[in-house]
Amino acid sequence: DLFFNYRNKRWIQTCLEEPPDATLSCTIVGTPTPLITWEKEKLKLTSGGRFKTVEDGDVYRLTIYDLTLEDSGQYMCRAKNSVGEAYAAVTLKVALPTEMAQRAPVFLVKPTSARVGLGGDVVFHCRVVAYPEANFDWEKDGRYLGETNRIKIVSDSDSSTLKIQSVRNLDSGTYTCRAQNTVGRAHTAAALVVDAQDSRHLTADKNTSLLSHLQKDMFMNSMPAL
């Protein structure tokens, strides 16, 4: 006979806090003594690395060390002898700590304003911390910016990079990186000034700040037409 008693609930949730370990256990009584195996999503688990299986009399334990979000899933303890087979399953949900479970994007790295000569390249980069993961968009002067043969955008779960190749005068302006998830949104901006000189011959005046260039451009653009 096989008698199976699973000590854990059918559904378990644990948080990624110290120590980030989880132990599943079950009590099995059988004659003849059964062979015990552990499985995750129908794949057999062996003792070693982050997984450790222990037999203590009729109690069998599976410990998972250094939990990650990917350890979430269904775990099964399977017992088998010459009389028959029995099993029990439990679902493990690994979650972030409560205070981190939901978080609107916050910028860790913001794009830096730049001054580039005609024909040069410029790169703007931003990175956020957010949960759930954030989606990114870029804007130029308040309008959505998409990819072209000169403009490339590469984004992943926490960062986005905008690269403009062979810049032209029309590329001057304010570039905004927007990050958004289901909790909230955030944005940050940087300015691009395109110098009239060819980038190969551009010599910047170290005493002239980018801010003064922007202020001059804004003043010229705001002058009334004659």
Q: How far is CA 74 from CA 12, 70, 90, 105, 111, in A?
A: 10, 11, 6, 31, 42
State which residues form the domain around 31: 2-98
Three-state DSSP class for residue 216: helix
- Out of 14-18, 60-64, 202-206, 219-223, pick the least confident: 219-223
Are 5 and 77 in contact, with CB atoms under 8 Å apart? no
Residue 108 gets the label, from left (phi > 0), alpha (psi -120 to 50) or beta, of: alpha
Phi, psi for residue 221 in degrees, rounded to 5: -70, -20
From 98, 131, 149, the end of a domain falls on: 98
Are 161 and 155 in contact, with CB atoms under 8 Å apart? yes
Q: Are residues 110 and 214 in the same domain?
A: yes
Note the pLDDT tens digit of each residue in 130-160: 888 899 999 999 999 999 999 999 999 889 9
Residue 166 gets the label, from left (phi > 0), alpha (psi -120 to 50) or beta, of: left
Q: What distance in Å separates the CA atoms of residue 14 and residue 28, rounded to the nearest whole number?
A: 25
Q: What distance in Å separates the CA atoms of residue 158 and residue 136, rounded to the nearest whole number?
A: 9
Note the pLDDT tens digit of each residue in 182-218: 999 999 999 999 998 765 554 444 334 444 444 433 3
Q: Are residues 107 and 214 in the same domain?
A: yes
- Residue 93's Cβ-side half-sphere holds a number of Cα atoms within 13 Å equal to 9
What are the E-state strand segments in the chain? 2-6, 11-15, 22-30, 35-40, 43-45, 51-56, 59-64, 73-80, 85-95, 103-109, 114-118, 122-131, 135-140, 143-144, 151-155, 159-164, 173-180, 185-198
Tell whether pTM > 0.75. Answer: no
Q: Are residues 32 and 116 in the same domain?
A: no
pLDDT tops 70 at residue 165: yes
From 65, 98, 131, the end of a domain falls on: 98
Return the higher-pLDDT residue of 39 and 29.
Answer: 39
From 50, 76, 98, the end of a domain falls on: 98
Give me the pLDDT at residue 14, please: 52
Work out the mean pLDDT of the chain and round it to a whole number.
80
pLDDT tops 70 at residue 12: no
Helical spans, DSSP H, in the chain: 210-222
Q: Are residues 182 and 91 in the same domain?
A: no
Q: Are residues 94 and 128 in the same domain?
A: no
Q: Are residues 127 and 214 in the same domain?
A: yes
> For residue 223, is it within any domain?
no
Q: Are residues 163 and 141 in the same domain?
A: yes
Taken as a whole, the chain contains a residue count of 226
Percent of the chain with pLDDT over 90: 42
Query: How many angstroms separate the most distant Cα atoms in the chain?
Result: 102
Q: How far is CA 41 from CA 70, 72, 76, in A?
A: 12, 10, 8
Question: For the chain, how many structural domains are there in total?
Answer: 2
Q: What is the mean pLDDT of residues 168-179?
A: 97
Return the higher-pLDDT residue of 67 and 163.
Answer: 163
Q: What CATH number is attached to the domain comprising 70?
A: 2.60.40.10
> For residue 224, is it within any domain?
no
